[in-house]
């Protein structure tokens, strides 16, 4: 099976060089690969073109659906590896969608990349519901885990799986990033931190928003909360630099 990627424009895979905008690696030059398909459906998702295809009735605040053929592309791992290596960066961020739905193909891709560039640092962004599997896990340097809170619109029994959250919390490679839209969301973050013993040093809170004004307004009160609770605060640097656009 090939890797199933999102597209920037029909027929063009979303593989690009940029600065990491979020979490512990913010500001680092990286190559991004955006994979298609997701097992969750966040109402505020800013990459709904990776999953909300025509006929998918899962709710989204924009109510927009996307033609699958124009927004999804299959490529073999060797082709994807060549495109990544041509961009000349020493850090790869695999994002989505939910990348771990394609763990077997990802393992083959990353094995090719590390054979060609052994020092390549690989980050995988995940919603924390899918196990990476024994072929992929040893190849990953960093997990950016973003469990979805109630305001995402996902049922807790689908989005917050105890076995997976406990495993990531116990893995020093895993950093947690909680998307926060309102002060009421913070109690849920605190409860999850306590339940799974997530170290504060590996816990980020990040404002939900797809424009600078919204991010700045929410960061004003979120910064105080992070300071009081010993959490870390993540901005969304790419939104300030490029706006809410594909391939950035």
* Per-residue model confidence (pLDDT) at position 77: 98
pLDDT by residue, tens only, the chain of 248 residues: 799 999 999 999 999 999 999 999 999 999 999 999 999 999 999 999 999 999 998 999 999 999 999 999 999 999 999 999 999 999 999 999 999 999 999 999 999 999 999 999 999 999 999 999 999 999 999 999 999 999 999 999 999 999 999 999 999 999 999 999 999 999 999 999 999 999 999 999 999 999 999 999 999 999 999 999 999 999 999 999 999 999 99
- CA-nearest of 129, 147, 127, 132 to 193 is 147
List strands edge to edge, sheet with 12-13. 12-13, 3-9, 72-75
- Please tell me the pTM assigned to this model: 0.97
Q: Count CB neighbours of 95 within 10 A.
A: 21
Domains contained in the chain, CATH given: 3-242 (3.20.20.70)
- Four-residue CA torsion sign, 230, 169, 152, 149: negative
* Per-residue model confidence (pLDDT) at position 1: 78
* Beta strands 72-75; 29-34: pairing state: unpaired
Say how far apart CA 115 and CA 100 lie, in whole Å.
21
* Per-residue model confidence (pLDDT) at position 28: 98
């Amino acid at each position: 099976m090939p890797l199933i990627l999102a597209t920037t424009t029909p027929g063009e895979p979303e593989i690009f060089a940029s600065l990491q905008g979020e979490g512990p690696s913010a500001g680092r030059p990286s190559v991004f690969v955006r994979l298609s398909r997701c097992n969750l459906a966040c109402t505020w998702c800013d990459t709904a073109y990776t999953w909300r295809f025509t006929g998918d009735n899962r709710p989204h605040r924009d109510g927009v659906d996307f033609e699958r053929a124009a927004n999804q592309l299959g490529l073999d791992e060797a082709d994807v590896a060549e495109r990544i290596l041509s961009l000349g960066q020493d850090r790869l961020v695999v994002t989505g969608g939910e990348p771990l739905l394609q763990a077997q193909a990802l393992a083959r891709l990353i094995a090719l990349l590390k054979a060609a560039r052994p020092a390549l640092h690989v980050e995988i962004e995940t919603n924390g519901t899918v196990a990476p599997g024994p072929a992929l896990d040893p190849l990953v340097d960093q997990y950016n885990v973003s469990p979805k809170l109630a305001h995402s619109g996902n049922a807790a029994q689908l989005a917050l799986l105890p076995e997976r959250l406990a495993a990531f919390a116990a893995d020093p490679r895993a950093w947690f990033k909680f998307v926060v839209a309102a002060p009421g969301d913070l109690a849920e973050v605190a409860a999850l931190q306590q339940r799974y013993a997530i170290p504060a040093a590996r816990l980020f809170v990040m404002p939900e928003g797809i424009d600078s004004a919204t991010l700045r307004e929410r960061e004003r009160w979120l910064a105080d909360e992070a300071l009081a609770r010993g959490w870390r605060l993540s901005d969304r640097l790419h939104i300030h630099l490029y706006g809410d656009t594909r391939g950035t």
